Structure 1
Amino acid sequence: MEKINHSSYSYVILDDDLASVELLTQQLMQLPQMRLISQFTNPIDATHAFNSYETVDFLFLDIGMEVSGIDVARMLKNKAKFIVFVTGYSEFALEAFEYGDAYLVKPVDLKTLKRAILYLLDKSAKQVFENQQNLVDER
């Protein structure tokens, strides 16, 4: 499997199902570069907590909760570099991509999770490179 190249990436998990939170946490703990900031089962608690956070690298977010995960993503889009929906609802994919960066349908295995993380990090690195290249070209 490919290696994630960076000292560490912070993440928060929000899912109203505690078993899903625990499973995702166990999977992410197998990736040594991933650093847990917090876990939530209540979207209101999560949005309040984000007021005290610096920007996190990843927000792993369910959709079908008391407050829609899409609404939470809309509120927190400037507080997370990447928003990854991890949900049992495939029908929200198009709407979710307006506010999220990846969409994974449960159950998610470690290989799929890691592939999504690597894709987003690679995409981000390419954008940084292209932006730097554009600055050089403008000179």
Structure 2
Amino acid sequence: MYYNCSIVDDEQHAIEALNDYIKEIDFLKVTSIFNNPLDALNTIGKGEMIDFLFLDIDMDGMAGTELSKHLRDKARFVIYASSNLEHEVRMLDSSFECYLGKPISMKRFASTIETLVRINNLPISN
């Protein structure tokens, strides 16, 4: 069993870092990656539920906070991965589950995922 993850970020190095971190956790799997929020909106909006949606805030075409409003019913957890300060993000959108400040460390990433899984009583057996 695994939980599917989608990454939406317009910076390739940020996408690669998140992708690498997700691969390190046995029960996570990247199912889609987007460097354009409008593409993510069209694809995710028409697709299956996502377990973890990782969003950047500042992207060309649509801010991650706006994208989150459109995709909230398609994602179990919305996690912002951004260089914006967390309190600034909370002023724009208070409905997300977690915030990861860039640059993201593997330790912080793993801790965030483990906490979400634990407090929501999600199974992690493979």
TM-score by length of 1: 0.81
With CA pairs under 8 Å and 6+ residues apart, which has the higher RCO, 1 or 2? 2
TM-score by length of 2: 0.88
Structure 2 regions of 5+ residues with no counterpart?
Answer: none
Q: Paired residue for 2:37?
A: 43
Q: Paired residue for 1:25?
A: 19
Q: Contact between 1:89 and 1:105, CA under 8 Å: does it hold in 2? A: yes
Mapped partners of 1:116, 1:109: distance in 2: 11
**Aligned residue among 51, 54, 61 for 2:55:** 61
In the TM superposition, residue 92 of structure 1 has moved relative to its aligned partner by 2.3
Question: How many pairs does the alignment contain?
Answer: 120
Q: Paired residue for 1:135?
A: none
Structure 1 regions of 5+ residues with no counterpart?
Answer: 1-6, 127-139
Cα 1:96–1:57 change in 2 (3 A) is farther
Q: Contact between 1:11 and 1:36, CA under 8 Å: does it hold in 2? A: yes
* Percentage identity across paired residues of the two chains: 28
- The alignment's C-alpha RMSD in Å is 1.5
Matched, 1:110 2:100: no
- AA paired with 1:74? K
Mapped partners of 2:93, 2:67: distance in 1: 13
Q: Which is higher, the Rg of structure 1 or of structure 2?
A: 1
